[in-house]
Structure 1
């Protein structure tokens, strides 16, 4: 009796089992050429292309299987995996639905998992939440579905439910760092920032050999909101992140850049915030200036979150690369191969950060700037760009980076929305309205205690606060309790949720005097208030994140609106509120005055920045790769 003839696909299967997609594709090519209508060959082609990351070819292979009328559940699963990696959620949803209709329990379960992911990627959060709940009924121990359930609740502004699920999940998976990050996000969304920091630090201390970079970075970010921390403590937390990043990278020791001190530079921006975001507004005038200068500008996009502001900025740069699907090492290899001279990080420890890329040192000069008003904690970042008011001489110990001072840090484009600046509302109301349109999570208990003194010292005054959180019942209820504990009558305060930018800016016409929070002071919000005719009162501050308003008010020509301490702040607020006529006359001319100030002189700002970048490049060439320690004054 003769033995059965071996399958012609056995070697292809062997290669696929060994993750050898190139070898499998090499065997499939002549088979498909000889038999182009063989569905089984196309099915294996789909599997091999998916494994190789050949997304378009994998999709074409699926469509060919479909045309030939042979689509197995495994075919759909491979096609779905390809759609996931390709970032095609609409195709992922299609494959998920097909699997759900297969009638086979195990494939339906896989289809439900794909559906949850597809709906999440399409930002269809209510439907994704429902799909998560359905999946967890069938598979209650599905960790990924549990994480997505919590994420959906957070996106749907249901932080208390998200926190409850995260707490329960951490009992089942106590060592899952992603669950802890989700718990921290839910806690911060209800205003429990100190508690969130404590939870993160407790996790770090209990997992010394299993640290997670996202948790370490999250701690660095939220430490900026904590007034009780010393500058040294904040720096140590950042250095902890830097040590971790360094252990997981192999920094480049040489680069492909031509060592010419005077040639045009290739400057790259590492950021996902080229959108309707403070960084997007800040960068647009600078990038417009760079169009007319001998400089090549590349963007390495860390988020792929695009909108109308992105559409303005993207055509202005020479090269735009998405690195959302690249590992830190792959992104570093790309940057290094493209001969970037100076790589500028614009995130620090904020959402979208890719400091892990900087750890590989893909460019000979690396800088952090603007996105995070403190140190990254990374020795691979050579410089931090600041100004003499944000970081006065003698305050360099806040940073691991070398301090390089520009004449001033901030520059903005005039706001391109019609702002009808009217008289101060106190003229009609008969009382003064203080206000703050900064993010509510900047308003800590110390801030409320100070503002309570301002309100008490200003008869009949009111306070207007606006931002994300005040539209969430749990957060609002918690905030009202904090008002009471600070000695503020909640009836004296208007709490309003977020809105579109035009309506947001119009809210300043209901405010007589803006109050700056601390230690996380306002930057974009300070400029917006000034542009809308509203004076901003701030404290001088003791660290960079606290001195942002200090720098802006000095640039705008109003250092008289700065207080050295809390007592002086109350006096400044009451004296400013007592002279409504002065408020009225100032309001009438303020927009025109600051429009002529350094805050909006983008050409001069670009000159200053270009000079700084040229100085960094020449300093690098003068000493090679040796790190410089002396602060540039």
Structure 2
């Protein structure tokens, strides 16, 4: 022990090892050896030795404590918690163990629990300085800033040499906008200990908040980091395999893989990165986990918790993992591992989101991911790194699933305008207050709402209030609100009309959330990267007009918006959708550009060139600053498999199964853990009686949004009847005891009544669809259904627990639930989980406890026959997955799969041992040369009989090419598609059983281009069914039908897509029409040009009925959703009706220089009717008139009154008769 006390651990370990041989039954010898190994940074060996000591003396608190520490150093939090807890059970006064436990609670985000442990440790006489330090940290995390500052200043008085506390104190000054005190304290600390890189990072972070610092000063200060802390000549890791087209191994280093600004800005982008391109390795420096953590883990190929590794050991780990590109997501902020980056453990090193407020100052970091707004031209010299400028925003925002409804403009009700700022209050400085006060002075009676953790500090509020009062703004016009749960924070935006961005440090996530809630944000960019976050989000959300070029402009924008409430109200209602439709939230688009950037820098590295600034163009071209031309990028070869090679069936789901669980009947079952591990479900659990006790653990296993003491209903306040048996607690009142079976009389006895709020299912914003709904029998299911009809329109499965022997008033009955659901498109399928009551006594010696009286069951409802027939393939797949995985229903699962693909359904039968052998699929595949979906992760194979694989995201644009006997022209058509300049496009060619060489030419021309899918019909279905097929068997935002003998200009899809993106009033975008006749091109074709741009849908529709002759505009790129309500019918000139229908939903635009080349023929072999129907059947013109009448009626009945509608239909009939006789 003397050697241990002298910290001579190697000798102590050697001597203790000898003693264990001599005295193998001595717990002391094993314990000392284990401690020496632990202090020698050999935790795994220490664990083995300490377990020997524990086996001899299981109640030695020191051994248990040391085991806990050893497991903690290995990153095994659960075992560390277990052994430290055991040590405290043996010795409750063991203060050292309690403080370690408190630190663990802090590391896992359990700050209140940490304070409880610290309080006990203080009572037990623990180290006072350590107790105070942990207390200050936990209080700070709980936003109790007054108490935090008091504790930190007390530590400074008592322990002036506690340098870590001085660093924390300086940061507290910064948070309370006491910038000069913060910077002074940081600099004093650095004088006393210049080796503390985290102190310097804290100083760098603080100076960005101070409005008196210029960008020149900031850069000059930041670049000192290298001089102070970087090793002189670290050996840069070199890639062993420099193949430019290999699959890249990318390391992600962060403390923010969770609901955190980092997590919310990267998760959706990571999910859309192609697996064949990247192997992702996550290095997390935080123990905190939630649903976003789980999503990131599911995308990553490896997940490593590295909290226990120091900077050098982490660098070694990264080198050993042979990372190709290492991305830092911490910077100078929480969890910073810049010394690791300085060791240069990867061939290429990048800075992206996370503490990204300027250049990092590290020459070891090669590139910094940005965009042209964050880093406009001319600022490259301010960055140590080379800039990668993405074409849109440098982040991809992921809104949280639960989003409050965007309310009406508050000013219309209040009679005054409310400005707001929910940014970190550290950003609210004297300069900002000066300009905000000026704005408020120009808008009489206006208010300012400020929200954030520091506003729980009365001294802070007083200082802000006085600053406004000295500028003529009464404190009664200010409203302060502290920290709150996220859903409440978002809902508070319904009290704000206009958000004011601070300066010089702008908002990032806060700006995105304001826009999500319909609140426009006015910003004036600051001098640094940190000052331009809002600007890039606004510009990329289509709100560049809200970015000011100076303070005068900033004030005029605020005053102008506040003075035009009608415009402000209009902006509010459309802003959420505008944000979601913009590049700020477009994960597939971001992932494409990110992929291009990573491949480009890797390819340059393989060429032996030094890093250089890189710009990704709007069309995906990658150009380095020192290159004249864009780089031609190489990608990994796509692996393909044939159906014959399929060994097992896999569910290739697109997106997660959105599950709403009212009463937590699913989330509270033991089997829910297994479902979570599959990663296929996104579950929203409303838990009125709070019966889910392990929500945090479940959230670490999969996506779960848990809402205790909340229940679905009619939106009115209700009462929760708390019963003696918690399982019987309900918002339905229990029946009187004499109306119940004896076994339930005590269980349903009410012991308390609590108020509880209910939510209408249809009022939950952000819940775009529900795949699976579960209803318990303790809350009013019929009210839930009545107020959820809209949300359930596309639901695939409803499980409703029904009673046959009631225990509560108004309990759901099978007949009532079935009746409501049958009227809304559902059919009763079966009863599941039948529960019975036994009338036999409970006594020993009874051979069996027979139970025969049916009390309750879970009734399953599926879409009725007509709805089932309309399901898309992915919906059928989701329904089959739930039926198979949850309920073990294989027959209906097979039937659903058979509708998608008969061959795949047979594989399902084979995988589940329902047939003897797998079928031979040779030459039977429906799709030819279709890109193969990636197989599922190996871990899924042992967790469920039905295996899961997530499909790659759908393209933004799909082109459908129905073709029949076009061997002469199809090659040119396909070549025009292959030359399209944009990313995010797919092509489906459907050959209608051609009798010439068309299919062979298609396959040869397409080659290995995996953007194409090729299908062949079993027989000639006619052009109508083939046109319909390519539309219904693709999914995208925009769609285009291309004639198989026509072709497009190279930029056609790019320009038409940009037209639709830019103007939401447009439903169709077409190129200029050119005619090709006998291989001679003329144009533009005047007869194919139309002006359908009136503001009235009725006008556009009727104008098209009257004037449309040349239907080249049928080949426009259009918004797919505009045909969601169209009734496809095989009638002559159906394309006329489709065009009119699209024009009801928006205008027609011609897209710049884009050109559509349409072939014209003197005479075709088949008649129009033969081509349309596939046979010579007559198609009467009256069917066209009927389709037009029905279509117009469907569209206009909610807009026109009956008389107006009949007038327009009569007018349309007259036009059609006149045109077509």
Give 1:609 shift.
1.1
- Partner residue of 1:416 out of 392, 398, 401: 401
Do 2:273 and 2:592's aligned partners in 1 also have CA atoms closer than 8 Å?
no
Match of 1:60 in 2: 51
Counterpart-to-counterpart distance in 2, 1:325 and 1:130: 26
Counterpart-to-counterpart distance in 2, 1:630 and 1:551: 18
Greater strand share, 1 or 2? 2
Distance 1:609 1:81, change over 3 A: closer
Distance 1:77 1:574, change over 3 A: closer
Q: Whose radius of gyration is greater, 1 or 2? A: 2
What is the 5 A alignment of 1:437-476? 437-476=422-461
- Partner residue of 1:19 out of 10, 25, 50: 10
Give 1:378 shift.
0.6
Listed as ranges, the gaps of 5+ residues in structure 2 are: 106-110, 616-623, 626-1221
Do 1:117 and 1:128's aligned partners in 2 also have CA atoms closer than 8 Å?
no
Distance 1:42 1:506, change over 3 A: same
Give the match's secondary structure for 1:435: strand
Give the match's secondary structure for 2:250: strand
Match of 1:295 in 2: 278
Distance 1:325 1:587, change over 3 A: same
Counterpart-to-counterpart distance in 2, 1:494 and 1:585: 25
Give 1:231 shift.
0.9
Greater helix share, 1 or 2? 1
Match of 1:380 in 2: 364
Do 1:541 and 1:564's aligned partners in 2 also have CA atoms closer than 8 Å?
no
Instruction: Tell me the number of residue pairs that the alignment of Structure 1 and Structure 2 aligns.
Output: 602
Alignment of 1:127 onto 2:119: no
- Partner residue of 2:311 out of 328, 347, 351: 328
Distance 1:578 1:161, change over 3 A: closer
1:34-84 Cα shifts (integer Å, max 9, x gaps): x6x5545544554455443125425523431235x7x4x765664565466
Counterpart-to-counterpart distance in 1, 2:601 and 2:47: 43
Give 1:380 shift.
0.5
Give 1:373 shift.
2.3
Give 1:186 shift.
2.9
Do 1:129 and 1:152's aligned partners in 2 also have CA atoms closer than 8 Å?
no
Counterpart-to-counterpart distance in 2, 1:98 and 1:185: 39
Counterpart-to-counterpart distance in 2, 1:413 and 1:84: 32
Give 1:335 shift.
0.5
Give the match's secondary structure for 1:351: coil
Distance 1:187 1:598, change over 3 A: same
Counterpart-to-counterpart distance in 1, 2:62 and 2:573: 70
Match of 2:549 in 1: 564
Distance 1:125 1:622, change over 3 A: same
Greater length-normalized contact order (CA 8 Å, ≥ 6 residues apart):
1
Give 1:234 shift.
0.9
Match of 2:580 in 1: 595
Give the match's secondary structure for 1:130: helix
- Partner residue of 2:152 out of 161, 166, 177: 166
Match of 1:3 in 2: none
Counterpart-to-counterpart distance in 2, 1:627 and 1:594: 34
- Partner residue of 1:178 out of 164, 172, 176: 164
What RMSD over aligned residues (CA atoms) do the two structures have, in Å? 3.1
Match of 1:398 in 2: 382
- Partner residue of 1:516 out of 478, 501, 516: 501
Counterpart-to-counterpart distance in 1, 2:483 and 2:143: 12
Do 1:42 and 1:62's aligned partners in 2 also have CA atoms closer than 8 Å?
yes
Instruction: Give the TM-score, by structure 2 length.
Output: 0.46
Counterpart-to-counterpart distance in 1, 2:136 and 2:486: 29
Do 2:514 and 2:520's aligned partners in 1 also have CA atoms closer than 8 Å?
yes
Give 1:182 shift.
2.0
Distance 1:498 1:146, change over 3 A: closer
Instruction: Give the TM-score, by structure 1 length.
Output: 0.87
Counterpart-to-counterpart distance in 2, 1:415 and 1:116: 35
1:387-444 Cα shifts (integer Å, max 9, x gaps): 1111111112331111221112132235422431232111111111111111111111
Alignment of 1:230 onto 2:214: yes
Distance 1:499 1:260, change over 3 A: same
Alignment of 1:151 onto 2:137: yes
Give the match's secondary structure for 2:286: coil
Distance 1:179 1:415, change over 3 A: closer
Counterpart-to-counterpart distance in 2, 1:429 and 1:158: 32
Give 1:224 shift.
1.5
Counterpart-to-counterpart distance in 1, 2:331 and 2:507: 17
Give the match's secondary structure for 1:19: helix
Match of 1:216 in 2: 200
Match of 1:606 in 2: 591
Distance 1:92 1:223, change over 3 A: same
Counterpart-to-counterpart distance in 1, 2:373 and 2:251: 26
Match of 1:105 in 2: none
Do 1:540 and 1:563's aligned partners in 2 also have CA atoms closer than 8 Å?
yes
Give 1:157 shift.
4.5
Alignment of 1:497 onto 2:487: no
Counterpart-to-counterpart distance in 2, 1:511 and 1:223: 30
Counterpart-to-counterpart distance in 1, 2:558 and 2:576: 21
Do 1:42 and 1:64's aligned partners in 2 also have CA atoms closer than 8 Å?
no
Counterpart-to-counterpart distance in 2, 1:15 and 1:547: 54
Give the match's secondary structure for 1:241: helix
Distance 1:43 1:411, change over 3 A: closer
